[in-house]
Every structure is written in C-alpha cells, then in structure tokens.
C-alpha cells in the first residue's frame, strides 16, 4: 500500500474533525483503562460491540494479537503458525477506527483482524508462497478475490499463516503443518498431537487466539482436518460458492477457500464476507443462484429438530475407543435435540473409491500450477512445475527435507485435460462420490446430512465438490480435540449451518488451549 493511499483518509479531515477524533481516541483509551477488553476467546460480535462502545479500537485489537503472536507463536510454546505479519496492519486498523468515528454504521467484519493462509494472494508488501522456498519472494500485485471481498467488508488482514507446503502436495512423508519456508506448525493443544493439514497454521493461530478468525483452503481435508485437530469450526464450502482466483492451486475440480473460526457464528460471518460473483472464476458465476447473501439466518437453536442424519461406522474404524465414545455422545445429543439418527448407514462406493488410484489431482495440479507460475514476474526463479522441482534439487538442504515424490509424479504425467485417462478418472470420481456415493445414501434414506468423525469423510466429499462443516465434539483424556462433521449435497450449506449451530449451542465443547 502506498504512503499516499495509506494516509488518504487523514487529508479529508478538517482540523476540527481531526481534533474531535483525537479527543475521542483519548477518551476511548481512558475507557479501556477502566474496563480492559479480554481478547482470549472473544467472538467477532463481542469485538464489534466493544469497538462500537469505545471500549477498544481496531488498532487495540491488532496490537493485542501482535502481542500474543510474539508471546506464543515466536516464543513460549513457539507454535510457528504465522509466516508473515502484515506490516500495514496497525496503519490499516487506525484508518478503520477513524472511518468508524465518522460513520459508525459498519458491517460485522469491520476492523476485525483476520489471518490468511499463505497460498491465498495478498497484495504487496505481503508475500504469497505456499510455504515453498522457491516462492519466498513472490509479492502479488493484488489480493485474491476472497481477500478483496474481506477488505471491502472492512476486515484487517493481520498476516499470513504457515501451512503444509503446496497444500500438502509435495511429498508422501511430509508431516502436516510443515513447509520448507516456515518450518513445523505445532498444535496448541499439545505438540504431540497432529496439527492437521494443510491449513495448519490458520488452524493453530485461530485456536490459540492469535487472530479473530482465519481463511484456509481445502482440496481434500485441508480445512476439516486442522479445524477438528484444533477444536475449531471449519466450513468447507461447495466448490463454486467462494472464488478460487488468486489462490495457488492444487486441483481446480476440488479446490475451495473456506472460513475457520472458534464459533459457528463467526465462521458464518466470515463466509458471508468471502462469497461473491468473480468473473475470473466461472464456477462462482454458474453458482450465483445457489449462494445465499446472508447465512446468519440459518443460525437456529432448533436446527437439529426433525433432522434425519446418517453415520457410516466404517469411517470410525481408525479411531480409538475413546474417540468413538465421544462421537457416540455427540449422536446422543443430536437425538436429544430432536434428530433421527440412522445408525449405521453404508456408503457403498467408499471401498472402491479408496482402493483405486485416480490421476485427477496429479494431472490437474500440473495443469493448474503451470498456469499459475507462468504468470509470475520475469525475476521469479520458477515459472513451471519443472522449475520448482529443479529449484528444490539445487537447494535440497532447505527445500527437500522430505523429498518431492508427489511433485515428480505429477510432472511425469500429461497436463492435457482432454486426454482419455484424465476424463475417465474424473468421470469415475464423480460417479463414485456423487451418484453411487453421497447422493445414493442421502436420497435413498431421505437424509439431510451424513455424520463423520473429525475429517474422515473428506475425500468422498472433496471429489464430489460437496460442502462439510466440522464442529468441536470434545477432547480425549489426554486433551486431544475431536470434531464431528456434517456433510451434505451441493449448496446445502444452509442445512449444515443449522445442524452445526444447534449442536454447538447444545454442547459448547470448545475450550481454549492452555499456552
């Protein structure tokens, strides 16, 4: 942001107005001294109320989060969830406070500090790297569409979150939350617990109260996994509900950004701010009639009453007895709140889907990443997937702690998406995940949604392009978070929000990590 742009708001103020605002700022500081605002676990609505009454300013909120980042991310437990702080964050928050003083009629995200996953473009001076040392100098000229939407809503971009490098599509053995540029993200509930991938930094940062909420991306489990692992609410939208333009891609048929927050309401407020028709993403154009303008109307305490839900217990086989017990307790709550649980149901295509190897993600990744990298400035060290592989080999000491087998496998395949093998694999993915998968069981059993533990149904929903919402379901005796996930048909976000909110309000399982 230019200096001229940064201070444009100040030039428009008259001397009297500026003096009045200055006096108001001093008054707000006195109010804060009398009644401190507690940032830990504060909701977006509570922040707005505090800013409206003058108890706190947006600049105060930014500074509080910066202090927590210094205390808990860079020192203390060293969560390592933040890759970069927006150097303009305090200036932007100060401008936000002035605008609020002039016009207090603002939206729910106005002045609220958010964290953005670092595969989502943010304009210079911030970087967008996907966690790769090969992209360390990448400074986009403009924001991704979802970021520009959030800025229009008045949100403050606090910084960029660490992630699993290239959205966990580089090496078979790379741990969740690791990137060559940012290192390893830790789970704030315990360093020994999986932090989830690939939106690990967003998950850890929001869980540890280092930002009000955050934006992640998912191709297959990358929002649902870190949300459940960090006791958060994560919304993985229908593909096309939120724009993918300006996001370093993995596979366009499955990619989507989505909100991660500490409450369902906060996640919905963020989702509202992210959506919109983007001419650079045709899926949002085709989907505009299916996307709601305001999803908060679906925040209903009685959202479980009369709902028909199904659970396929084959997806629980990898869980411990204690984790299964927590899921069973969640089902009991849903029944108490008026839901009918069909237990079990069977998604008949699951075994076939899991045991076959589709080339879709590998081929789409090569196609999509080449198209993205080709547009980078001439001084970028990489302009293709082959360039990335070469760069990593030349800088193996920093870039290849876990190898790059996935990148090399993708490079070895054709990026021609008109080829027979790709078309056949994509058709099978759709058939097995939709017609013979989620669609079949939901329609045959007249269900509103399927229930999964944590993120364990993410693959079938991802291939279908269908939405899911995960909500905290409790903790093991060791303190490891467990989530429950609701999955439905395309653009069933309204029903999923009703279910998730009703369950959250009936249980209130989330508790902050002890840092």
CA distances from 57 to 11, 26, 114, 435 (A): 21, 11, 15, 51
Q: Which of 136, 79, 178, 129 is nearest to 403 (CA)?
A: 178
Position 346 scores a pLDDT of 97
Is residue 277 domain-shared with residue 372, that is, in the same domain?
no
Position 136 scores a pLDDT of 98
**Which of 11-15, 315-319, 433-437 is predicted with the least confidence, judged by mean pLDDT?**
11-15
Position 26 scores a pLDDT of 40
Is residue 292 domain-shared with residue 392, that is, in the same domain?
no
Per the domain annotation, does 249 fall within a domain? yes
Position 489 scores a pLDDT of 98
Position 35 scores a pLDDT of 75
Q: Which of 194, 163, 198, 195 is nearest to 181 (CA)?
A: 163
Pairwise pLDDT comparison (8 vs 498), residue with the higher score: 498
Provide the angle, in degrees to the nearest 10, between the axes of the packed helices 420-430 and 360-374: 120
The alpha carbon dihedral of 128, 133, 137, 138 has a sign of negative
pLDDT beyond 50 at 373? yes
Is residue 400 domain-shared with residue 257, that is, in the same domain?
no
Q: What is the pTM of this model?
A: 0.93
Per the domain annotation, does 224 fall within a domain? yes
pLDDT in tens, 346-356: 999 999 998 89
Query: Rounded to 5 degrees, what angle do the CA atoms 397, 225, 185 make?
Result: 35
pLDDT in tens, 260-304: 999 999 999 999 999 999 999 999 999 999 999 999 999 999 999
Q: Which of 250, 243, 241 is nearest to 222 (CA)?
A: 250
Is residue 61 domain-shared with residue 138, that is, in the same domain?
yes
CA distances from 360 to 368, 419, 420, 425 (A): 12, 11, 12, 6
Tell which of 281, 298, 315 closes a domain. Answer: 298
Per the domain annotation, does 487 fall within a domain? no
Which of the four pLDDT bands, split at 50, 70 and 90, describes residue 19? very low
Is residue 278 domain-shared with residue 367, that is, in the same domain?
no
pLDDT in tens, 459-481: 999 999 999 999 999 999 999 99
**Which of 29-38, 216-225, 306-315, 370-379 is predicted with the least confidence, judged by mean pLDDT?**
29-38
Ranked by mean pLDDT, the top range of 11-15, 23-27, 180-184, 351-355 is 180-184
Is residue 279 domain-shared with residue 384, that is, in the same domain?
no
**Is 58 within 8 Å of 93 (Cβ atoms)?**
yes
Q: Average pLDDT, stretch 100-118?
A: 97
Per the domain annotation, does 368 fall within a domain? yes
Across-strand partners of 85?
159
pLDDT beyond 70 at 10? no
Position 11 scores a pLDDT of 36
> Mean pLDDT over all residues of the chain?
94
Tell which of 277, 298, 319 closes a domain. Answer: 298
Per the domain annotation, does 404 fall within a domain? yes
Per the domain annotation, does 183 fall within a domain? yes
**Which of 88-97, 347-356, 436-445, 464-473 is predicted with the least confidence, judged by mean pLDDT?**
347-356
Bridge-based pairing of strands 256-261 and 233-236 is antiparallel
Which of the four pLDDT bands, split at 50, 70 and 90, describes residue 391? very high
> What's the rounded Cα separation, in Å, for the pair 351 and 348?
7
Domain count, the chain: 2
pLDDT beyond 70 at 411? yes
Is residue 124 domain-shared with residue 267, that is, in the same domain?
yes
* Catalytic residue list: 117, 198, 222
> What's the rounded Cα separation, in Å, for the pair 200 and 49?
30
Per the domain annotation, does 86 fall within a domain? yes
Is residue 135 domain-shared with residue 284, that is, in the same domain?
yes
Which of the four pLDDT bands, split at 50, 70 and 90, describes residue 442? very high
Is residue 286 domain-shared with residue 409, that is, in the same domain?
no
Residue with tokens 């944590």: 454
CATH number for 184: 3.90.1300.10
CB-count burial class (<10 Å; 0-12, 13-18, 19+) for 170: buried
Is residue 110 domain-shared with residue 208, that is, in the same domain?
yes
Per the domain annotation, does 211 fall within a domain? yes
Tell which of 268, 298, 328 closes a domain. Answer: 298
> What's the rounded Cα separation, in Å, for the pair 179 and 486?
30
Range of the domain at 230: 16-298
DSSP 62-128: HHHHHHHIIIIISSTT----EEEE-TTHHHHHHHHHHHHHH-----TTTT-EEEEETTB---TTS--
């Amino acid at each position: 942001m230019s200096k001229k742009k940064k201070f444009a708001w100040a030039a428009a103020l008259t001397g009297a107005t500026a003096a009045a605002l200055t006096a108001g700022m001093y008054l707000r500081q006195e109010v804060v001294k009398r009644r401190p605002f507690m940032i830990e676990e504060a909701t977006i609505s509570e922040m707005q109320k505090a800013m409206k009454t003058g108890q706190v300013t947006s600049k105060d909120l930014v500074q509080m989060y910066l202090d927590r980042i210094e205390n808990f991310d860079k020192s203390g437990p060293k969560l390592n969830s933040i890759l970069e702080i927006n150097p303009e964050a305090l200036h932007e928050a100060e401008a936000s406070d002035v605008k609020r003083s002039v016009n207090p009629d603002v939206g729910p995200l106005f002045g609220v500090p958010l964290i953005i996953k670092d595969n989502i473009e943010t304009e210079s001076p911030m970087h967008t790297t996907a966690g790769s040392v090969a992209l360390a100098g990448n400074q986009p000229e403009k924001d991704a569409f979802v970021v520009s939407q959030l800025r229009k809503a008045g949100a403050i971009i606090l910084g960029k979150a660490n992630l699993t490098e290239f959205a966990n599509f580089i090496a078979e053995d790379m741990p969740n939350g690791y990137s060559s540029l940012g290192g390893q993200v830790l789970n704030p509930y315990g360093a020994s617990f999986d932090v989830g991938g690939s939106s690990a930094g967003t998950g850890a940062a929001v869980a540890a109260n280092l930002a009000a909420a955050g934006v992640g991306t998912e191709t297959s489990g990358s929002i649902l996994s870190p949300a459940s692992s960090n006791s958060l609410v994560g919304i993985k939208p229908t593909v096309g509900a939120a724009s993918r333009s300006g996001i370093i891609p993995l596979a366009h048929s499955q990619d989507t950004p989505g909100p991660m927050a500490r409450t369902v309401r906060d996640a919905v407020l963020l989702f509202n701010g992210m959506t919109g028709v983007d001419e650079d993403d045709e899926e949002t154009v085709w989907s505009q009639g299916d996307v709601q303008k305001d999803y908060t109307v679906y925040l209903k305490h009685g959202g479980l009453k009369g709902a028909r839900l199904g659970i396929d217990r084959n997806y629980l086989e990898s869980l411990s007895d204690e984790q299964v017990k927590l899921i069973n307790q969640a089902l009991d709550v849903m029944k108490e709140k008026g839901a009918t649980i069909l237990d079990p149901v069977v998604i008949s295509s699951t075994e076939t889907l899991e045991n076959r190897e589709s080339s879709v993600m590998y081929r789409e990744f090569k196609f999509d990443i080449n198209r993205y990298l080709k547009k980078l400035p001439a001084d970028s060290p990489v302009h293709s997937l082959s360039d990335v592989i070469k760069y990593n080999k030349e800088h193996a000491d920093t870039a290849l702690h876990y190898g790059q087998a996935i990148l090399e496998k993708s490079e070895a395949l054709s990026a021609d998406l008109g080829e027979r093998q790709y078309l056949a694999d994509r058709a099978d993915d759709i058939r097995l995940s939709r017609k013979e998968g989620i669609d079949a069981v939901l329609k045959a059993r007249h269900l509103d949604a399927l229930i999964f533990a944590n993120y364990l149904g993410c693959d079938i929903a991802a291939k279908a392009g269908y939405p899911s919402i995960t909500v905290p379901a409790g903790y093991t005796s060791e303190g490891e978070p467990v989530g429950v996930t609701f999955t439905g048909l395309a653009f069933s976000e309204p029903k999923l929000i009703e279910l998730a909110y009703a369950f959250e309000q009936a249980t209130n399982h989330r508790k902050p990590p002890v840092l």
